[in-house]
Amino acid sequence: MSKVRIAVFVSGGGTNLQALIDAQNSGIISSGEIVLVIADRSTAYALERAKKSGINTFYAERKEIGNSEFEKLAIKALDEAKAELIVLAGYLGILSEQFTKKYSNRIINIHPSLIPSFCGMGCYGIHVHEKALEYGVKVTGATVHYVNEIPDGGRIIMQKAVDIKDDDTPQSLQRRVMEEAEWVILPKATQKVCEEILKGDK
């Protein structure tokens, strides 16, 4: 059976990457295969996770070489890997309009809130959970969406809600959103998009 070739973009620890690797190993992701992990910093622990699973890696220091040069190198790596789907799993860079157009409907991202709440420029990582608690919302969660030129502006693929507890801190909330939402819906959404790509290619 043919599988969609997946490249995963990362910036840090790679817990969402691990969720994807585990889902691939358990058969939740059966229509795709992770063939490449691309990091925008050499210190990203996600690279170690990829190596442990025998997945090819590529990294370049985006902050040193700039976004445009990083994207050029990433495109070369994607072409060489014959990647058909890009999954942003804790990638902190903002992709250019040229890049998102080149891979239109082939890039998906996980965001740690229920879009359209707490999203867009400046809303990433722990900041999202700080804002949710400051605002006093009672429910948050995670969203997987297609990536376009507007940060967090693409069509929603999947969402999962997480209740906020009275004693939550940004850190405890971040952890629960990861465990109860991100690690659940990112693999499922990846499988769903892979199935759609394979149907479209037939």
* Residue closest to 18 by CA, chosen among 5, 175, 10: 10
- Asked whether 181 and 160 are in contact (CB, 8 A), the reply is yes
The answer to whether residue 111 is catalytic is: yes
The CA–CA distances, whole Å, from 16 to 19, 73, 99 equal 5, 23, 22
* Catalytic residue (one of 111, 127, 129, 145): 111
The DSSP letter of residue 181 is I
According to DSSP, residue 83 is labeled -
**Rounded CA gap, 176 and 22, in Å?**
18
> What residues are annotated to the active site?
111
